């Protein structure tokens, strides 16, 4: 029994040592000569790729130079870079999509690494303005895969250092779209990056830390980057602003704007420099959007003024109730419940502002009235709290006077007794 145990142990030890040796041998055979040689080349064009490659997702998944460039990595000399061994060298801009697509369009191959990864990048890209101009016009100023994913430092979008991480996308697109020289031959503006950086969306993403706010690719698509068609623009905004988009879709404007070729939401809010919606946006005054197309005499104009008036009345009522409750609170009165209830008016205001997009004053009025009921109740509680305070103060005044009078009386009494 003892003997068999020992023999078994020895066998296991031998087996482990042997497989270890084989592994080491295999690793030796797997030395990536492409990487070894290129890493020590001083010329940045030749050595740079190998040095950058350490942080690349392909390196992290065990892929090497030859998996993209072809050739034989087991050979230590230049003969590894023999076209006869499948070596491709540096792909030109026209070849890059097929170069990357060899793997990324191959569902069976990609599944071995990451089954959830999409395999339609090349297909999508070929429908984009970028892909079409490249294929149809040979326009090499457009973006190819490696314009957005730097060839030897490719990282997944979730990596903060990735060129396609949400916080870095704008810069990546801006490298061309904000470069007037690069875009000189085209009839499109180069202010998208600059304007986007002034938008509420960018502020939300950076200061607000909300990575779900949109950047370039959320509106334009990652690989199908195309100028959104007019009907599509509304859909893009509606992905996130769904209540407002539903209101708008049912409104008279939706159809009319489509007929007139106005770009849906962007007609009033712009596309890149979308700002917080201020009250002044509604109505016919300065900074209002309705005045672009309506005058005081038409139905649109009167609706604009009516809705603005209603919203203003709720905002004013909310402001009044809020400051009353604050005053009571600062004076030490217990009004936290009333302040909590007042939040209901803010919710009503949000819904009323969204309902502006129905362009139906009755819909706006319904929410405003709801909000006004809440503010009235809160206001009443504020008035009562301050009334209580006044009562307490008067009471306090009276008792203080009485106490003072008593003290004075007492002092007089003591003096009299002393005398």
What is the sign of the dihedral through the CA atoms of 149, 152, 158 and 162?
A: negative
Choosing from 55, 132, 135, 204, the residue that interacts with ligand HEC (CB under 6 A) is 204
Report the first-to-last Cα separation within the chain, whole angstroms.
118
Where in 360-419 is the site for ligand HEC (CB under 6 A)? none
State the Cα–Cα distance between residues 382 and 325, nearest whole angstrom: 5
CA distances in angstroms from 342 to 101, 303, 365, 377, 387, listed in the order given: 57, 28, 18, 8, 19
Is residue 258 involved in binding ligand HEC (CB under 6 A)?
A: no
Is residue 317 involved in binding ligand HEC (CB under 6 A)?
A: no
Is residue 350 involved in binding ligand HEC (CB under 6 A)?
A: yes
Where in 217-256 is the site for ligand HEC (CB under 6 A)? 217-220, 222-223, 225-228, 233-234, 236-241, 244-245, 248, 252-253, 256
Write down the least CB distance from residue 280 to ligand HEC, Å.
8
**Of the ranges 150-158, 337-345, 391-399, 404-412, which one interacts with ligand HEC (CB under 6 A)?**
150-158
Token pair of 23 as six digits: 């592994």
**Of the ranges 7-15, 128-136, 395-403, 408-416, which one interacts with ligand HEC (CB under 6 A)?**
128-136
143, 225 contact by CB (below 8 A): yes
**Of the ranges 1-9, 211-219, 325-333, 374-382, which one interacts with ligand HEC (CB under 6 A)?**
211-219
402, 349 contact by CB (below 8 A): no
Instruction: Give the DSSP H/E element, type plus range, for residue 385.
Output: helix 361-418
Write down the least CB distance from residue 70 to ligand HEC, Å.
7
Token pair of 400 as six digits: 């203080």
Write down the least CB distance from residue 82 to ligand HEC, Å.
9
Count of residues that interact with ligand HEC, criterion CB under 6 A: 144
Where in 289-308 is the site for ligand HEC (CB under 6 A)? 289-290, 292-294, 299-300, 303-304
Q: What is the DSSP letter of 92?
A: P
**Of the ranges 164-172, 332-340, 362-370, 381-389, which one interacts with ligand HEC (CB under 6 A)?**
164-172
304, 282 contact by CB (below 8 A): yes
State the Cα–Cα distance between residues 10 and 62, nearest whole angstrom: 34
Is residue 318 involved in binding ligand HEC (CB under 6 A)?
A: no
Q: Look at the block and give the residue holding tokens 């905002």.
A: 315
């Amino acid at each position: 029994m003892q003997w068999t145990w020992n023999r078994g142990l020895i066998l296991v030890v031998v087996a482990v040592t042997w497989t270890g040796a084989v592994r080491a041998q295999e690793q030796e055979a797997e030395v990536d000569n492409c990487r070894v040689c290129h890493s020590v080349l001083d010329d940045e064009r030749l050595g740079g790729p190998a040095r950058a490659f350490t942080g690349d997702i392909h390196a992290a998944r065990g892929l090497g130079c030859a998996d993209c460039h072809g050739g034989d990595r087991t050979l230590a000399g230049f003969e590894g870079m023999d076209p006869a061994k499948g070596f491709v060298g540096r792909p030109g801009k026209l070849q890059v999509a097929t170069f990357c697509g060899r793997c990324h369009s191959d569902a069976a191959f990609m599944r071995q690494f990451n089954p959830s990864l999409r395999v339609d990048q090349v297909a999508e890209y070929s429908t984009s303005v970028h892909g079409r101009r490249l294929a149809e016009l040979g326009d090499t100023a457009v973006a190819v895969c490696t314009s957005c994913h730097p060839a030897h430092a490719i990282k997944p979008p979730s990596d903060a250092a990735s060129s396609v991480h949400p916080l870095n996308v704008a810069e990546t697109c801006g490298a061309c779209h904000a470069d007037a020289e690069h875009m000189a031959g085209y009839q499109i503006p180069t202010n998208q990056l600059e304007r986007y950086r002034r938008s509420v969306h960018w502020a939300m993403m950076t200061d607000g830390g909300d990575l779900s706010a949109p950047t370039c690719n959320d509106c334009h698509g990652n690989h199908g980057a195309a100028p959104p068609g007019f009907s599509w623009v509304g859909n893009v905004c509606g992905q996130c602003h769904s209540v407002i988009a539903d209101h708008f879709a049912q409104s008279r404007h939706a159809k009319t704007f489509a007929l007139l070729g106005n770009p849906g939401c962007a007609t009033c809010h712009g596309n890149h420099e979308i700002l917080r919606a201020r009250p002044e946006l509604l109505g016919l005054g300065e900074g209002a959007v309705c005045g672009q197309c309506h005058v005081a005499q038409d139905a649109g104009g009167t609706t604009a003024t009516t809705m603005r008036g209603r919203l203003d009345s709720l905002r004013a009522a909310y402001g009044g109730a809020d400051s009353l409750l604050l005053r009571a609170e600062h004076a030490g009165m217990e009004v936290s419940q009333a302040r909590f209830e007042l939040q209901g008016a803010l919710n009503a205001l949000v819904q009323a502002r969204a309902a502006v997009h129905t362009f139906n004053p009755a819909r706006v009025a319904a929410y405003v009235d709801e909000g006004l009921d809440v503010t009235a109740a809160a206001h009443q509680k504020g008035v009562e709290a301050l009334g209580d305070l006044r009562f307490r103060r008067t009471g306090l005044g009276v008792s203080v006077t009485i106490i003072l009078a008593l003290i004075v009386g007492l002092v007089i009494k003591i003096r009299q007794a002393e005398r």
